[in-house]
Structure 1
């Protein structure tokens, strides 16, 4: 329907322009009226009217003009009269033709000539195939030859494809072998749902001896329809394409053959038989991965079915692979770690020194919607960020703070289930044990602007942009002691696993960096052709507060709730494990681990009330994950 509407609109606009161009110079007695009627009839689809102004057999001429549009698979014709010369009873009209070949191809433009002569006092176009194009001769027709480049892969940081080959079945035809193309496409359309007229024009416009792909089937779809595809003249060809996504599959995205449903929605250069990215990076970089189809307009000898002359050629836009920062070895460690868990889990690992995303692993969560773009309560895992402001306010890690079951700060209530009495622990011990009530009590020791500056320094709320949906976190405006206490304990803060992994990377390297997932093309804005918007700049942290944060994070895995994450020999593990969410309103409970080992920073989010679950998964991951060199 869209294509038909486009053709009708293009044709009507072309007629208006043509009429304005042509009629101004037509005066009688002259050959102008014959030229006008012929060209306007050709352009508007009134082939009988055009044929009537020639000296040929009206039915044969009308059919020849109509076939020219079919064999070119033309969306529209547009003509501009250049001039008419007359010598006695003969004349010649020179014109320029613009043919919209559709499928996002350039215009096929050429100069033509209409020879005319007087027949019983009426000017007639002297008919021959060269009227349609100077190089078209008797016994020839137009044809359009198209070649689609194979889909390029999405690759990891080592240029290894993040897809595996999957077998496909391609339904093709060789037009010269068909005794009834109309019947074939009618039967194929009934099985697949593709528009019958679109399939027929693909067949009729192709070079007769070429193998024309019409529909591509995946393994399951072909198995479902195989019994209905025993159509005379239809040939099935085996093909493999790198369309099965490797891990992280939801980040890479799935690829499908163009279907009857999505071909109507794409509106691009895709034809039946091409592939289309359904989600993830495959969808975002669809045009880059597939490029565009190269096109040639040729003439073909009807007897030999062989090409004769090339009338126009367009190479199409080249395609290229998309390079990601995913490290397949680190991704494997992430997959193994989350597979050993029980509850829904999201794990994001980044290279601390670059901000590059190394791995995204999930169990019963979505890698894009949850791991990159999810909005989850930060809980006391956010005290890692708040520690920056506390250190700048000269709060000592040795200061003793009671950890009662309930505490009120500025009218806001904070709870620490299972809190034990006894001597007041140090700030370091309360941090390592993720004591909400003790940490909330520090709200009066820190300035609101300083706390807000610390959250910004760790990239919370930064304006980054990735090819896929992502969330940088959000912190409300801080106006009171209650607000400050909620930020310190992460109770009014929303974050994603990605934003917390970047925060851990900042603590590990001393500098917050925006995330990078794709290195080629260098930016989304450049790919889209819009002005380049530079990403947020790196933000160095204060060395003094950084030392405090590291000592607190180390205590988290040596004596605190993050201890299950400690990973044996090798570089030290730093981290904090803490609960988040869960209240009288029935919010879900989660557990976090946020930390790093060497140059690998990681955050793990696990649904459920087990506060050690995230740290356990992080420990399994950090035992085998090695930062890329």
Structure 2
């Protein structure tokens, strides 16, 4: 092409641009056949160039932008509706989720008078979940903007367009409202309400979470706002059907439970548990105050001299003690650099092991430390009494700990100090093991409900050891430190007191554990003093009701 022809073409284009500046800005789409640098070119299809509008939206544009979006949404054309926003990908997902996960079968959206570029609208969503139908009515608002690419009016997409309470990362979901609630009943079918038995409140709630879906109850259906993990955020938008509680049978004995609650009432931080030795069923759980931390099942405290039951079983098994045999009980005994003493520094000259157990002589046990291995007590507690095994009671529990210790700490553990940690549940189980002769893991809901496997102790107490240990606990209940609390209680009775020292605490924690017939119980009253005086009456009252 000659230079004069080139100039004519270029000049013509230039003239066209100049001639159109008054009508707005135009975009040119195409290519330069000659490879030149052209900032504007003719349209690819050879048609007239397309105008991209800029500047503020007119009132009619705001109306049309809102109308096209809401109309497409109402008609069910979610792709078209999403395309009428400034973020079609996010809008498409949110609208689709509302239909599929929110179960919004259809919507009816009616725009109202615009306020500038904001358009409020009324929405009616028809929710359909299985046989359940509901109508969800609410108002929302959208904001119309000019699309940067096309210049057309579109909806500025944000979650609140779908619902005014929606935030980023949230969605609307219609489904079952968690697990069905439970109506807990005791072993005989009597209701166990949180109003009547507030100390069981956290246990009943926990049982509901664990076993609600294993009852014949129903959770009910809800439309609600959830986060990315499905967790409910904010209020329920629509309740399609009400939840129906399912009956959950527990091992609790309502009579024993009421007695336990009365027994701990007014005693600061007191707690008690009762179990059935022949089965391991938990009969009662009570704490004071009734609400708050459940120390009866989940506490972790040094058990003091009640631990001597386990230590005695070990000594009897090893032949280091025998009820009627002479056994040392001096005022003091040293081991591992520590000097131990008895309460009020008493001693028993020429006494037997039975007398030492009945009077809770500390030094009778400390003197045997030199004959033991560091892990002997740990093994006895775990292998015979099930302490420290993984109990599956049906609710959250702390299952005791008897760690391997050495030197003075090992000696301390023999009398329930050092690193030994228990609670009323585990100590009630210790007494129950003595009464039955073998460990039966405690539980509050039958394992048949969820097919869980209960913990089993590796070995059973030797018959002679069991006989001797029962005799020791019986003597303690009739003429020893437990006699004051248990005297006159009929049936096959045995008990043990305990007082656990705590650093920077004026009075020790009072412990008491005992059995009567086919019931065993244990209680602790922190910072109260002697076990027989403070925890003993609690246990007696429970055993009277349960045994």
- Shorter-chain TM-score category? 0.5 to 0.7
Q: Distance in 2 between matches of 1:182 and 1:350?
A: 57
Change (3 A) 1:447 1:520: closer
Change (3 A) 1:253 1:147: farther
- Is the partner of 1:348 in helix, strand or coil? strand
Corresponding residue for 1:334? Answer: 260
Verify the 8 A CA contact 1:148 1:293 in the aligned structure 2: no
Partner residue of 1:512 out of 402, 419, 439: 439
| Shift, 1:603, TM fit | 0.6
Stretch deviating more after TM superposition (373-382 or 423-432): 423-432
RMSD of aligned Cα (Å): 4.6
- Say if 2:296 is the partner of 1:399: no
Partner residue of 2:313 out of 369, 384, 388: 388
Superposed counterparts of 1:211-610, under 5 Å: 245-246=194-195, 248-253=197-202, 280-284=206-210, 291-294=218-221, 320-339=246-265, 342-364=267-289, 369-394=294-319, 395-421=321-347, 423-456=349-382, 457-480=384-407, 482-492=408-418, 493-519=420-446, 522-523=449-450, 534-538=453-457, 539-566=459-486, 568=488, 570-583=490-503, 585-586=504-505, 589-607=508-526, 608-610=528-530
- Say if 2:199 is the partner of 1:197: no
Superposed counterparts of 1:75-94, under 5 Å: none
1:481-512 deviation per Cα after TM superposition (whole angstroms, max 9, x unaligned): x4442222111211111111111111111111
1:245-275 deviation per Cα after TM superposition (whole angstroms, max 9, x unaligned): 1454343339xxxxxxxxxxxxxxxxxxxxx
| Shift, 1:378, TM fit | 1.4
- Is the partner of 1:458 in helix, strand or coil? coil
Corresponding residue for 1:616? Answer: 537
Change (3 A) 1:439 1:144: same
Verify the 8 A CA contact 1:403 1:438 in the aligned structure 2: yes
Q: Distance in 2 between matches of 1:564 and 1:104?
A: 66
1:297-318 deviation per Cα after TM superposition (whole angstroms, max 9, x unaligned): xxxxxxxxxxxxxxxxx99999
Change (3 A) 1:497 1:315: same
Q: Distance in 1 between matches of 2:131 and 2:497?
A: 52
- Is the partner of 2:442 in helix, strand or coil? coil
Unaligned runs of 5+ in 2: 1-44, 46-59, 81-94, 107-123, 141-161, 167-171, 175-190, 224-239
Change (3 A) 1:420 1:536: closer
1:528-564 deviation per Cα after TM superposition (whole angstroms, max 9, x unaligned): xxxx6x3322553221211111011101111111113
Corresponding residue for 2:29? Answer: none
- Is the partner of 1:253 in helix, strand or coil? helix
- Is the partner of 1:383 in helix, strand or coil? helix
Q: Distance in 1 between matches of 2:400 and 2:488?
A: 32
- Is the partner of 2:498 in helix, strand or coil? strand
Verify the 8 A CA contact 2:251 2:282 in the aligned structure 1: yes
Q: Distance in 2 between matches of 1:325 and 1:468?
A: 12
- Is the partner of 1:540 in helix, strand or coil? coil
1:447-500 deviation per Cα after TM superposition (whole angstroms, max 9, x unaligned): 5454332111212211123454311111221444x4442222111211111111
- Is the partner of 2:343 in helix, strand or coil? coil
Q: Distance in 2 between matches of 1:318 and 1:332?
A: 27
Change (3 A) 1:485 1:469: same
Verify the 8 A CA contact 2:212 2:246 in the aligned structure 1: no
Unaligned runs of 5+ in 1: 1-28, 30-47, 53-57, 70-75, 80-97, 110-140, 150-173, 184-194, 207-241, 255-276, 297-313, 527-531
Larger Rg: 2
TM-score (normalizing by structure 2) = 0.61
- Is the partner of 2:525 in helix, strand or coil? strand
1:228-247 deviation per Cα after TM superposition (whole angstroms, max 9, x unaligned): xxxxxxxxxxxxxx996145
Change (3 A) 1:106 1:292: farther
Change (3 A) 1:604 1:317: closer
- Is the partner of 2:344 in helix, strand or coil? coil
Verify the 8 A CA contact 1:550 1:574 in the aligned structure 2: yes
1:42-70 deviation per Cα after TM superposition (whole angstroms, max 9, x unaligned): xxxxxx99x99xxxxx976643333467x
Change (3 A) 1:459 1:389: same
Corresponding residue for 1:529? Answer: none
Q: Distance in 2 between matches of 1:605 and 1:510?
A: 24
TM-score (normalizing by structure 1) = 0.53
| Shift, 1:334, TM fit | 1.1
Q: Distance in 2 between matches of 1:288 and 1:554?
A: 43
Q: Distance in 1 between matches of 2:396 and 2:306?
A: 23
| Shift, 1:411, TM fit | 2.1
Q: Distance in 1 between matches of 2:344 and 2:366?
A: 17
